[in-house]
Amino acid sequence: MSTLSEGFSTAFGLMAGFDARLLGIVGLSLRVSLTAVFFGSLIGLPLGASVAVGRFAGRAPVTVLLNAFIGLPAVVVGLLVYLLLSRAGPLGEFGLLFTPAAMVVAQTVLITPLIAAFTRQIVADAWREYREQLKSLGASAGRAAFTLLVDTRFSLVTVVLAAFGRAIAEVGAVMIVGGNIDGVTRVMTTTIALETSKGDLPLALALGIILVGIVIIVNAAAHATRQLAQRRYG
């Protein structure tokens, strides 16, 4: 109990004091995960919509794989990206390992299937309702997929948020490919893991509280936006 209360007071102390180190860690976490969400969405949204609308051989296995990869273990993704980016790996020449860029790559790989799978589901449901109308109007499959993405945008916000939540909360992938280097690749989750193992529980807890707080704030903002938009557009 005392650890808990100590954690809260440490958290507030750090936040109130705008602790530079803390800000650096939080900032890097946000930067890495938001960038990963950006690229994940860039790939996952069109991919999911194409699988939902398109009629091609192998659509069923692709759907199964996407759904299965929602739960991809972060450490496994970290390991794969590590092998890709390590000096001997196929992408080793870029020297990305143990940089924030490597962490972005790992988190993008982690969340793209999640975004694609949920997008596929949402767009497929909408497609059932819109299909005849859009075909009647003469929309091509590509145009239909794009139209559906635009029309389900409020539901897709939730998908993108879930992806952000997964990215910012995972520790396995960023730990492996980032290396948890102080001031360079140290993010909130890796710091929490480190401080916990060092025994500095109040600091670890404080970071945990801030992490959860950020996730709640982002979700609240998105929820409010969605409510507003839905009232407006139906």
Q: Which of 68-76, 161-169, 176-184, 226-234 is the region at the interface with another protein (rule: CB under 8 A)?
A: 226-234
Q: Which amino acid is at 169?
A: A
Q: Which of 106-114, 144-152, 188-196, 211-219 is the region at the interface with another protein (rule: CB under 8 A)?
A: 144-152
Q: How many residues of this chain interact with another protein, rule: CB under 8 A?
A: 18
234 binds another protein (CB under 8 A): yes
Q: Alpha helices of the chain — where are they, by DSSP H? A: 2-16, 20-53, 59-69, 74-85, 100-136, 141-151, 153-169, 172-178, 188-198, 201-233
Please name the residues in contact with 159: beta carbons below 8 A apart, sequence gap of 6 or more. Answer: 114, 115, 118, 119, 122
At closest approach, how far in Å is the CB of 125 from another protein? Answer: 13
Site string for another protein, 111-140 (x = CB under 8 A): ------------------xx-xx-xxxxx-
Name the residue among 157, 173, 184 with its Cα closest to residue 104. Answer: 173
**Cβ of 201: how many Cβ atoms within 10 Å?**
16
Place of tokens 């273990």: 73
At closest approach, how far in Å is the CB of 149 from another protein? Answer: 11
Residue 11 CA to residue 202 CA, distance in Å, equals 8
At closest approach, how far in Å is the CB of 175 from another protein? Answer: 41
At closest approach, how far in Å is the CB of 120 from another protein? Answer: 19
- Among 21, 64, 95, 143, interactor with another protein by CB under 8 A: 143
The CA-based angle 58-64-69, given to 5 degrees, is 125
Site for another protein in 145-184 (CB under 8 A): 147, 150-151, 153-154
Binding site for another protein (CB under 8 A): 129-130, 132-133, 135-139, 143, 147, 150-151, 153-154, 232-234
